[in-house]
Amino acid sequence: MKEFFSEHTVKKISPSGEEYNALLQERAERSQDKIFGGDLLRARPTEGVEGWKSLEGLAAIVFECQKRQTIEILRAYAMMQDAESHRVVLSYLRMGLEFSPIVREELAKIAGSHAGHGAEGTPEEALARFIASGHEIPAQLLIGLVEGNKVGVSESAKPFLEHELPALKREFTSTLPDLFKKYDIHENALEDPLAKIATVGVRAVDEFSGHLEELGGGYHAWQHRVIVSMDVLNAGSEEKRHVLDHELLHAASGKHAYQLSDGGTYAYGARTGLHFYPTAWRDKGTYTPRFAWLNEAVTERLTEEIMMMQSIRGANFVYEAEQKILEHLCTKGKTPIQFKKFVQAYFENYEPAQKEGERTVPAWRELWAAIEESFGKQYLVKLDTMIKEVGAARVLESLENGG
């Protein structure tokens, strides 16, 4: 990373201006035709294997992944006997069969050359048995499954994305004026988060095209895109609203951006809300993200408030330890710190200084000073380091026991 960034000229750009929006649009267009495979493609190819967009490149990558994560995942699911694992793998294979001719062609080959060795039953059951049998899985079959899954998830999500999502976004943005008023954020600052919500993309994923572990949603700052799982889209309105409101808050939160130029122009997010991504050229090649737990704690607390504004009873079952550590910061120091200081910093963009010596991000500086005055120098960094090392739950336990 250090060598990569040293080859580029770097400048800060406004994360709310036309330049940044144009860069986000360019990045989204470049990534639009990529084949998403989630965990099927999560293992990186060996050195020298490139070409994520092309079918040939994807074939090489899948081939490199075969003896590692890809096969292990499919075989593990295919061999599990519980009903949920059975449903997941058969649903995935059924989608590949329905939407990818490659899968159907490969299945025909398997049926012809492996008769009596795991290729019997319905088409999806035949595939599951073949995958679990220990035979080498053809790279083209894996490619077809990835492609079929992408198309199938897209088709399944269309009713939500085209009809339900616009109304949910409007309801979310309708709560922001009252939220900003409550936390003494000037109404003129509303224009930026409203624009971010208007332009944010939303993509649906399932267990395989997202993460195999339980996934509700996520926000990708570099593409300004919210990810929502199909399980959430198929769930009740309360859970759906909870996940979407949480991720839309990430999208609406303050940003920090750079433009890198040399053989191409890119927009890189260096901060989302209170989650900082220290940049390699400023850290001498190191990369130490900071305060992800604090960002999630503030996001979840605001999510609950927004759901109350929408007259929806939320289920506060995520980031519980992180929220209690946030409450510790607000109430257990020498001087209480109002939650509004966290909210004001959360929605603050990092605007480039217009003149030498100008101090940017005043809300963040005020919050930082309040924490240091109340708890001591570098307290937030020390807390962040401990949470990275042992987890939020262990740190909370220590704080509650006077540690």
For 208-249, how does the pLDDT look when each residue is reduced to its tens digit (9 = 90+)? Answer: 655 444 468 888 887 788 988 888 888 888 888 999 999 999
Query: Residue 204: CA atoms inside 13 Å, Cβ hemisphere, count?
Result: 22
- Using 50, 70 and 90 to split pLDDT, how confident is the model at 53? very low
State which residues form the domain around 113: 38-147
Q: Per-residue pLDDT for 260 more than 90? A: no
* pLDDT tens digit sequence for 305-320: 999 988 877 555 689 9
Q: Per-residue pLDDT for 50 more than 70? A: no
Q: What's the average model confidence in pLDDT over 137-157?
A: 79
First to last CA, the chain: 37
Q: Per-residue pLDDT for 280 more than 50? A: no
Q: How far apart are CA 89 and CA 127, in angstroms?
A: 10
Higher model confidence: residue 380 or residue 8? 380
In a domain, 236, yes or no: no
Residue ranges of the alpha helices (H) in 114-235? 123-132, 139-159, 165-182, 191-199, 230-233
In a domain, 317, yes or no: yes
In a domain, 92, yes or no: yes
In a domain, 302, yes or no: yes
Per-residue pLDDT at 120: 55
- 3-state helix, strand, coil split of the chain in percent (to 5) is 60, 10, 30
Mean pLDDT computed over every residue of the chain: 76
Per-residue pLDDT at 39: 37
Q: Which residue among 147, 174, 207 closes a domain?
A: 147
Proportion of the chain above pLDDT 90, given as a percent = 34
Tokens of 296: 């999630």
Q: Of 77-86, 200-209, 295-304, give the range with the top mean pLDDT.
A: 295-304
Q: Per-residue pLDDT for 195 more than 80? A: yes
In a domain, 96, yes or no: yes
User: What Rg value do the Cα atoms of the chain yield, rounded?
Assistant: 24
The whole-angstrom distance between residue 246's C-alpha and the CA centroid of its chain comes to: 12
Q: Per-residue pLDDT for 59 more than 50? A: no
In a domain, 171, yes or no: no
- Please, which residues bridge with residue 217 across strands? 228
Total number of domains in the chain: 2
Q: Which residue among 147, 182, 211 closes a domain?
A: 147
Q: Is there a contact between 258 and 12 (Cβ–Cβ < 8 Å)?
A: yes
In a domain, 182, yes or no: no
Q: Which residue among 147, 170, 195 closes a domain?
A: 147
